[in-house]
Amino acid sequence: MPPPPPSSELPEVTVEPVPAPEPKASQAVEKPQPRPLLARLFGISIWGGLKLIGLCILVGFFVLASQFDPTNPDVNAGEAIMNVARTAVSALGWALQNFWKPALAGATIVLPLWVLWRMISLPFRK
């Protein structure tokens, strides 16, 4: 059977443009705003704060156990380390009774170093 002859009349096809769906508020892609300077510099989680306090206490044990006095002209690091080793056991007993003293002594060393590190690493944080 031969195909039917082509018809000169083709049906008219109209194409109406379909409007694009509007993005929902949750789907809108926005560039996140950078955090404020103080939030980037001092923003720390609770766990990070606990670790910082623990580090202050640990360093404070060593500072107080060695009876380190930076104003003494005869400061000897080797002797200070030996003094820490000899008094470590008694320092732990003392620290159980006086918890806050090593925390403050360690904080005087750890916190300025921590702030300095946060300032140095600031350009690399979001």
Which amino acid would we find at residue 15? V
The pTM of this model reads 0.36
Give residue for tokens 């769906």. 21
User: Mean pLDDT, to the nearest integer, of 61-76?
Assistant: 76
pLDDT at 8: 60
Give the list of residues 6+ apart from residue 73 with CB closer than 8 angstroms, or none. Answer: none
Residue with the larger pLDDT of the pair 14 and 61: 61
pLDDT at 40: 80
User: Mean pLDDT, to the nearest integer, of 50-68?
Assistant: 85
Nearest Cα neighbor of 42 from 123, 124, 126, 114 is 114
pLDDT at 83: 76
* Predicted confidence (pLDDT) per residue in 29-56, tens digit: 678 888 788 888 888 889 999 999 999 9
Report yes or no: 101 and 60 within 8 Å, Cβ to Cβ: yes
